[in-house]
């Protein structure tokens, strides 16, 4: 921690800052400059609460040098973490798995048809919401436990791994029973009670970035899961709130190399929510792989025009086939492979 004093701060003010730092159990180190004095704090262990110092007279600014997160950082663990959610479905290595499926589970027929279609094109995991966080209480809220059972059926039929969202403790326990990976949605990224619950469940977690979350916020939310003893966290970029309504969200692909620089955790990209428009999904999925994404999660519906939610951003199975063909070429250009290629092209 560095405490920057105002120009013209008095010696007495500087001494008071030093004293306060001492009273917190640390050693102050004053460093006079041409215009201002800066006081450093020796021995910061990332738990220092700077608020005691911030508003002392003569203090202009407090700067934190240590990161607030620990176990998620590259400095803690230099090598990339590989998160395996099912045999052969791993995020963070050379392979780039594709998770695909409808926004919501709507019926047995729909989810099994979707699963077969995405499997045929090369997806290795199936997405589909049984619990749906909808802005309006009057929108379709998902089939709940029944939806989870339909996902389990689709898994038995196709062998695809299952990724699905949980919105509360009860849901998280149910999802952990039926699925391979628990998704935490953007709206719940800072639902710390839920994060602790999935931390204790030890199942792989797909943690989506909130609409106005910084990368630090995202990493701190992941730290909640890791600090409960669950290291199996996959981060997900899905777009930020924007002033421009030409896309549903502002898809921040730079988050991919930024996360890779700061953390050892894998990060996947969701071009469906990131753009919100079917015809933008394919180019932006390509871009995500080119930027270094460790996976792609994408909405595919056998009949998007009949979808109960997110129809406008869902690909048809045919377009999903195109997407997979294009992604394989881009992955190859960045020395990676789309997972499960063999199955896809067989």
Kindly state the smallest distance separating residue 159's Cβ from its own copies, in Å.
29
Please tell me whether residue 91 binds its own copies under the rule CB under 8 A. no
Kindly state the smallest distance separating residue 224's Cβ from its own copies, in Å.
5
- Select the span of 83-91, 94-102, 146-154, 286-294 touching its own copies (CB under 8 A): 286-294
| Candidate list 10, 22, 68, 109; residue touching its own copies; CB under 8 A | 68
| Candidate list 82, 120, 152, 250; residue touching its own copies; CB under 8 A | 250
- Select the span of 38-46, 82-90, 119-127, 200-208 touching its own copies (CB under 8 A): 38-46
- Select the span of 88-96, 122-130, 174-182, 251-259 touching its own copies (CB under 8 A): 251-259
Residue 183 forms beta bridges with which residues? Answer: 165, 206
Based on CB atoms, which residue is closest to its own copies, 84 or 316?
316
Question: What does DSSP say about strands 125-127 and 337-338: parallel, antiparallel, or unpaired?
Answer: unpaired
Please tell me whether residue 345 binds its own copies under the rule CB under 8 A. no
Please tell me whether residue 136 binds its own copies under the rule CB under 8 A. yes
Task: Write the DSSP symbol of residue 115.
Answer: H
Please tell me whether residue 54 binds its own copies under the rule CB under 8 A. yes
User: CB-based burial of residue 279 (10 Å sphere; 0-12 exposed, 13-18 middle, 19+ buried)?
Assistant: exposed
The Cα 338–Cα 346 span in angstroms is 14
Q: Can you state the percent helix, strand and coil of the chain, rounding each to 5? A: 40, 20, 40
| End-to-end Cα separation, the chain, in angstroms | 57
Is residue 115 within 8 Å of residue 307, measured between CB atoms? no
| Candidate list 153, 190, 202, 337; residue touching its own copies; CB under 8 A | 190
Based on CB atoms, which residue is closest to its own copies, 36 or 202?
36
Please tell me whether residue 29 binds its own copies under the rule CB under 8 A. yes
Site residues (CB under 8 A) for its own copies, limited to 308-337: 308-312, 326, 329-330, 332-334
All residues at 6 or more sequence positions from 166 whose CB lies less than 8 Å from its CB, including other chains: 131, 172, 174, 175, 176, 182, 183, 184, 194, 198
- Identify which of 235, 293, 286 has the alpha carbon closest to the alpha carbon of residue 72: 235
């Amino acid at each position: 921690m560095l405490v920057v004093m105002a120009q013209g701060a008095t010696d007495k003010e500087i001494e008071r800052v030093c004293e306060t730092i001492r009273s917190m159990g640390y050693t102050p180190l004053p460093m006079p400059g041409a215009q201002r004095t800066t006081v450093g704090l020796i021995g910061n262990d990332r738990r220092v609460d700077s608020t005691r110092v911030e508003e002392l007279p003569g203090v202009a600014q407090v700067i934190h040098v240590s990161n607030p997160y620990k176990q998620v950082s590259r400095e803690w663990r230099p090598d990339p973490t590989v998160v395996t959610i099912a045999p052969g479905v791993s995020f963070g290595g050379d392979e780039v798995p594709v998770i695909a499926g409808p926004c919501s589970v709507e019926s047995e027929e729909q989810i099994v048809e979707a699963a077969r279609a995405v499997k045929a094109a090369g997806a290795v995991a199936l997405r589909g919401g049984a619990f749906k966080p909808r802005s309006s209480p009057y929108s379709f809220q998902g089939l709940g436990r029944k939806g989870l059972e339909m996902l389990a059926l689709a898994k038995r039929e196709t062998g695809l791994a299952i990724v699905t969202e949980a919105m509360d403790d009860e849901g998280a326990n149910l999802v952990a029973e039926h699925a391979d990976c628990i998704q935490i949605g953007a709206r719940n990224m800072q639902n710390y009670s839920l994060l602790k619950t999935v931390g204790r469940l030890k199942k792989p977690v797909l943690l989506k970035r909130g609409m106005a979350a910084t990368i630090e916020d995202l990493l701190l939310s992941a730290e909640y899961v890791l600090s409960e003893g669950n290291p199996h966290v996959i981060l997900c970029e899905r777009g930020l709130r924007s002033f421009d309504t030409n896309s549903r969200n502002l898809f921040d692909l730079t988050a991919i190399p930024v996360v890779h620089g700061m953390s050892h955790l894998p990060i996947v990209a969701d071009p469906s929510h990131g753009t919100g428009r079917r015809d933008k999904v394919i180019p932006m999925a390509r871009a995500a792989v080119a930027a270094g994404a460790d996976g792609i999660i994408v909405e595919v519906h056998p009949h998007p025009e009949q979808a109960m939610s997110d129809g406008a951003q869902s690909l048809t199975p045919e377009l999903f086939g195109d997407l997979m063909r294009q992604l394989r070429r881009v992955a190859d250009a960045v020395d990676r492979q789309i997972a499960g290629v063999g199955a896809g092209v067989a």
